[in-house]
Structure 1
């Protein structure tokens, strides 16, 4: 699943491709991608201009004229690419926005898990899943004291706590595994048992890793591509994710992989302490 650095990279690469373009027609080849009223989505968008693209955590917020926003979640494998209306349709192209300038934006999604919602701008926290999310890394809200206090209230393991998006938003499997390894915390540690100094270290590592991964244009380990069809670069910097069975770069112990609530989780059994 594209995580915060990947979605931010999509935003940055998609914006110059579509900003200022006016929608002429919308085609829904697979209507279930749109979680709101399908007819309204097709009928209201023609004539609207793309003003800007914002992002919160893993959500893209495509800002339109007339106070409308398309909230887009890429889920596992959603991608956008600019093309022309007469270009051959890929079997995984599910939504097309045809513009008045003769270009078209297509949404491609192999698993069809991605979703779009058409809402009034400014209502995203009331209408969409954004309202349930915690603060983003590197935001003023994601303060040291906030993180310490939040984890004290969490009895479940730290891996699940970081993945559920309510304590901190934007992290997925890749960056959770990486930051827990960096911090020396076992993924099955009870969140509320982790010492404060370790919590502070984890927060610092989350902030730093998201910053570097965004600079590197995200991580491509499966199918992630930006809006220009290019891969990310952070996969070259991964230390544990995807490296199960290899030696830990800190201590030489063989990295292990387990399932945590169905998610593959790689860690060092020597370096990462379990807090119970």
Structure 2
């Protein structure tokens, strides 16, 4: 599933491709992608005539800000957007098409069909629905070592599942939690509340550095992720532990091991991340 760096990259690409374009009409070929409103015809009618004024990211969600409404899109496993000329052939698994007045089309393609779209009146998008209970943004000014310290204080939950909890901190998925914990030298099964002040500072710095570097490199193309122009991310070439089972640690040379924490495949160096 695309994580914060991948979604941020898609958002930046979409800004360059469709900002300022006006929707003439919308085609929906798989109605269950649209969750709100529950009437697909209403979804199509509301969007017709609106212009895309801004595109932003919140957690792993893409926000399309229109004249009256905000479209919240979640890519899930393999959802992707692409801009095409109206006369170009439509690929298989294309489920939603935004037809623009300039004869171009923003097409949403999703082989696994897990993606979702929710349409809200402006100002209502955070009151209910997928954005209502999200935690702190790790690349925002509001994410400080003190904020992280308060999130972890008194918690008996293992640190990895806590970092994956989107109600505590958003955008972090399996790849970047493993990478951040390795950089900080913290075992993923440590109870969150047992981290020392120094360890919290290291973890904070590791999260920010890992995500920032991943965004700069366009995210990680581990499976099928590409940005809005079909380009792969390159951060997978910088991964230190994730996906490197049985390979030598880049720091100490010990063999990277893989096991399961909270139902998620987890990669660590047993020497650099002692339990």
Q: Same fold (TM over 0.5)?
A: yes
The 1-side partners of 2:87 and 2:135 are apart by 42
Cα deviation per residue 1:19-64 (whole Å; 9 max; x = unaligned)? 1111111111111111112221111111111111011121111011
The 2-side partners of 1:44 and 1:33 are apart by 16
8 A contact 1:158–1:191 mirrored in 2: yes
Deviation at 1:112, TM superposition (A): 1.1
SS at match of 1:264: strand
The 2-side partners of 1:138 and 1:41 are apart by 32
Deviation at 1:198, TM superposition (A): 0.6
Deviation at 1:148, TM superposition (A): 0.7
Aligned position for 1:28: 28
Could you state the TM-score of these two structures normalised by the residue count of structure 2?
0.96
Aligned position for 2:144: 143
Deviation at 1:210, TM superposition (A): 1.0
Deviation at 1:129, TM superposition (A): 2.1
Structure 1 residue aligned with 2:62, among 46, 50, 60?
Answer: 60
8 A contact 1:20–1:49 mirrored in 2: yes
Misfit runs of 4+, over 4 Å:
none
Deviation at 1:209, TM superposition (A): 1.1
- State how many pairs are aligned: 273
Aligned position for 2:6: 6
Unaligned runs of 5+ in 1: none
Deviation at 1:68, TM superposition (A): 0.6
Aligned position for 2:50: 48
The 1-side partners of 2:251 and 2:199 are apart by 17
Could you state the TM-score of these two structures normalised by the residue count of structure 1?
0.95
- Whether 1:262 and 2:269 are equivalent positions in the alignment is no
Q: What are the within-5 Å matches in structure 2 for residues 1-276 of structure 1? A: 1-37=1-37, 38-65=40-67, 67-274=68-275
Q: Which moved more, 1:219-228 or 1:119-128?
A: 119-128
Question: What's the RMSD between the two structures over aligned residues?
Answer: 1.2
8 A contact 1:147–1:167 mirrored in 2: no
Unaligned runs of 5+ in 2: none
Deviation at 1:177, TM superposition (A): 0.4
